[in-house]
Structure 1
Amino acid sequence: MDNIWAYAADCGYGEDRSLVGFEVEATDGVVGQVERQTDHDGMRHLVVDTGMWVFGTSLLIPAGLITGIDSDSRRVIVGRAREEIKAAPRFARDSETTDVAYLSEVGNYYLALDPVPVS
């Protein structure tokens, strides 16, 4: 993973594409639905509404975790397990989606995880 905040060239993302409303799927199940996508100073990420999975909270997924986008089924595929995503630093306020210190904490969390095994 070269840049945790950039969409991989082969994930299927186009610059003019909105992912809002797409379902987010981890390696072992659904995480939630894209609430919004943000690009703060080149730190691209999705804000995902988890519904009841994580007690109705939202979480942040850096664009570099996206391994695929299926437009037909409106799904974003993320190369991490649900428990890894659930354990990531949470944000409590919308302003944190533009807080560089918070974004760095999230990025560092994912970068510290073992690489995703290639199937």
Structure 2
Amino acid sequence: MATIEVWTFAVATPPNIDLSGFTAEARDGKIGKVDEATHEAGGSFIVVDTGPWIFGKKVMLPAGTIRDIDPDTETI
């Protein structure tokens, strides 16, 4: 059985890219904007501001949940 590293980015992320402000999308559409992102070894995560559609809550997602980062469109 393989170990899943949920606190490590599953995709290559250059450390000089700030993900703050990127649009966060799920399989079924946009979920919000990245408010904060960390690049700590073994402890990386993003904080997404989900906006007014569920009353503007912020959610923390482990970096391992990110499947793609597009710096050109600023979308994860």
TM over 0.5: yes
Higher relative contact order (CA 8 A, sep 6+): 2
* Structure 2 counterparts to residues 84-103 of structure 1, below 5 A: none
Q: Which runs of 4+ in 1 moved over 4 A?
A: none
Q: Does 1:4 align with 2:12?
A: no
- Specify the alignment match of 1:66 in structure 2: 66
- TM-score using structure 1 length: 0.57
Unaligned runs of 5+ in 2: none
Contact 2:9–2:66 under 8 Å retained in 1: yes
- TM-score using structure 2 length: 0.85
If each structure's helix is expressed as a fraction of its own residues, which one has the higher value? 1
What residue identity is the alignment partner of 1:19?
Answer: L
**Aligned residue pairs: how many?**
74
Q: Does 1:55 align with 2:55?
A: yes
1:66-116, CA deviations, whole angstroms, 9 ceiling, x for partnerless residues? 00001111001xxxxxxxxxxxxxxxxxxxxxxxxxxxxxxxxxxxxxxxx
Q: Could you say what secondary structure the match of 1:64 adopts?
A: helix
Pick the structure with greater CA Rg. 1
Q: Does 1:19 align with 2:19?
A: yes
1:11-48, CA deviations, whole angstroms, 9 ceiling, x for partnerless residues? 24112221000000001111100001135673110011
What is the identity percentage for the equivalent residue pairs of Structure 1 and Structure 2?
38
Unaligned runs of 5+ in 1: 77-119
What residue identity is the alignment partner of 2:15?
Answer: E
Q: How much is the aligned-residue C-alpha RMSD, in angstroms?
A: 1.8
Contact 2:24–2:34 under 8 Å retained in 1: yes
- Specify the alignment match of 1:46 in structure 2: 46
